[in-house]
Structure 1
């Protein structure tokens, strides 16, 4: 198949591109040239929807690995070209906006699979797996933690800052309630160690209450190496104010780039990530944790996020409309393929609580 990767030169885009090249013809569309010489590289700016639509029209799928602010533009380009669309997620508020395009994708008879990364993505598929076994729980709790022995930033700094400054949704007793970011925290025992996690905004909250109808409570917490440091930086740069004629976030990103702190060059990636999906029932608690370790030139977070949409494509995922992973991915097959890629899955069940 021919796959177009928007933002294919970025941190996650490189993982996606490398994995796709094992079985598919790949076209990278980005404002930055691809690191791989054996792909078709085309300059493309997601601010120009018509241009992107023209460049992806002969693709079987388009994967959007660009900054999540461009998700709606990428989806509109996919609609114009009639190409099945996949992205990595985009925080709660963006996911809500993406779902509003459902009828447009249904009308065209094509799929927009939104949030098919690690979290969201793997978390959604694990949730479907547990749901298929035991039905609707009283509560779903998502807990994400990481350990990084490097100073490198391996994810979009804009996304990280947004999570630190935007109110966090919690689904409680049939409705959303919003809390200040980081206003709740707890220590979680992951297989990689004990990590303090904090309440932040996240995509799964936008779809779980409807996908698992009847659930009374859903929340998300995350934390790990450097989390408190980014939280402090967000207080200074989060509002993206103009100071002395300079936008604060732009300045921050340029400083980080100049210090070589974004992504990996010659340094060996050292981050590993774990995430727990916890279903609480009246008589039992069911948990599945996934753990991702560094792989080749990629760290754990990059690797698991990048391979997930590729697995979905290799499974020839199909559908019509704007759908989250839990509504379209066959969970047992996906999780088996995830294990074959080196992702560790740990299943636990506590009965008669």
Structure 2
């Protein structure tokens, strides 16, 4: 692509937004960027990031995302809108619709399934308008969807694909609870029912069910996985090139580090899973989520000196079972993200970098207007080539009986 592009990133001063910006402005990029417009309501964090990166292409702009006119102005003239505003802030569909209205291509970091299903119903509107939208382009969802595509491509017939994500921390135990991502997302994963694709149909499963123990290499070791609310199971088994292969089962399962897992289970037991329904405290109606967020952030700020140096290790893998040439076959695609000096400054390098990869591939390859999940839009080979530049360790194996 020879054209220099203009990118608008909404929620750009947030944890994920800052990481996406870092990667887009790195020497790994395969596109020419004329301007990267960062929109947020936090002027202090925007100013700090601009000062740190010291790149003239990065500009900062105030934005009240709840103001439709301000939202339209933010997108005007852009080639793509990156929506990194937290899903549960409630603006997902408004930003999605604004991108269509502005004729601007769109990506987001996922909608916990609920919004993703709604957005996919806009396929024809986006196609007719000549606009591309790819939904859930982080690590999970995002790279995880592409992993599933790679597995399905290895099989002539698909009976099942089971997708897993596990994180672990090495180093001294942390006496302070530091959420791996937004508190609302973690609570939703632990407290809300989820849909899994079982026996050829979507079935609602209770939270923290589907428990499965798998032995993984160190430093993960023996991991206990559970069903969790996510979007991959709502899109992958219905995708072109996968659905036709006869898939009857698709599941997504989560494993967080043991101590952190216990903390979130305890919070759900205490009632924080119902985080949006207000409670009355001294005559004031408050959301449990707001209280929990405030307490966690205060605790982190006041105990910075007690937070030890830890290193995060992630493993993402999908196992597909089916047939090749009529013979039983198993395909496995695995991505390991180990600590690396490249990830300094990132809160969640895997999510941010994968979002950046998705945007760059969208802008550098032929466009296909419409609304897509990642497994329906990206080619696994070109995607993994970019992932490997970021030191993601990718392996693909297939066994035929």
TM-score bin, normalised by smaller chain: over 0.9
Q: Is the contact between residue 102 and residue 322 of structure 1 (CA under 8 Å) also seen in structure 2?
A: yes
Name the SS for the 2:128 alignment partner.
Answer: helix
Question: For 1:169, which of 190, 195, 216 is the aligned residue?
Answer: 195
Contact 1:144 1:276 in 2 (8 A): yes
Aligned mates of 1:46, 1:21 — CA distance in 2 = 24
TM-score (norm 2): 0.82
2:49 is aligned with 1:36: yes
Deviation per CA, 1:14-63: give whole Å up to 9, x if none: 11011112352211111223242142111112222331121111111111
User: Matches of 2:262 and 2:108 in 1, distance apart?
Assistant: 28
Shift of 1:131: 2.0
Any residues of structure 2 matched to 1:90-105 within 5 Å, and which? 90-105=111-126
Q: Which runs of 5+ in 2 are unaligned?
A: none
Contact 1:153 1:261 in 2 (8 A): no
Preserved CA contact (<8 Å) 2:150 2:333: no
- Once the 2 structures are TM-superposed, how far is the Cα of residue 261 of structure 1 from its aligned partner? 6.7
Map 1:325-344 onto structure 2 (within 5 A).
325-344=374-393
User: How much has 1:347 moved relative to structure 2?
Assistant: 2.5
**Is the contact made by 2:113 and 2:232 (CA closer than 8 Å) also made in structure 1?**
yes
Give the aligned partner of residue 218 of structure 1: 250
The answer for the alignment partner of 1:237 in structure 2 is: 272
| Deviation of 1:254 (Å) | 0.6
Residue 154 of structure 2 contacts residue 331 of structure 2 at CA under 8 Å; is this kept in 1?
no
| Higher mean displacement: 198-207 or 276-285 | 276-285
Q: Does structure 2 conserve the Cα–Cα contact (< 8 Å) formed by 1:276 and 1:290? A: yes
In structure 2, the CA distance between the partners of 1:112 and 1:133, relative to structure 1 (3 Å rule), is same
Distance between the aligned counterparts of 2:128 and 2:135, measured in 1?
17
Q: How many residues align?
A: 349
Superposed, 1:290-309 pairs within 5 Å as 290-294=335-339, 295-299=343-347, 302-309=348-355
Structure 1 distance, partners of 2:308, 2:101, is 41
Partner residue of 1:186 out of 202, 212, 226: 212
Judging changes above 3 Å, is the alpha-carbon distance between structure 1 residues 52 and 161 closer, same or farther for their aligned structure 2 residues?
same
Match among 138, 143, 152 for residue 131 of structure 1: 152
Q: Based on CA coordinates, which of the two structures has the bigger radius of gyration?
A: 2
Task: Between 36-45 and 1-10, report the one with greater CA deviation.
Answer: 36-45
Matches within 5 A, 1:212-291: 212-213=242-243, 214-225=246-257, 226-235=260-269, 236-240=271-275, 241-244=278-281, 245=284, 246-260=286-300, 270-282=311-323, 283-291=328-336
Shift of 1:188: 2.0
CA RMSD, Structure 1 to Structure 2 (Å): 2.1
Which residue matches 2:357?
A: 311
CA positional deviation for 1:169: 1.0
In structure 2, how many angstroms separate the alpha carbons of the residues matched to 1:36 and 1:139?
44
Give the distance between the partners of 1:249 and 1:293, measured in 2 at CA. 31
| CA displacement at 1:190 relative to structure 2 | 3.1
Contact 2:207 2:227 in 1 (8 A): yes
User: 190, 199, 209: which is aligned to 2:237?
Assistant: 209
Quick one: distance in 2 between partners of 1:261 and 1:188?
36
Paired with 2:84 and 2:38, the residues of 1 have a C-alpha distance of 10
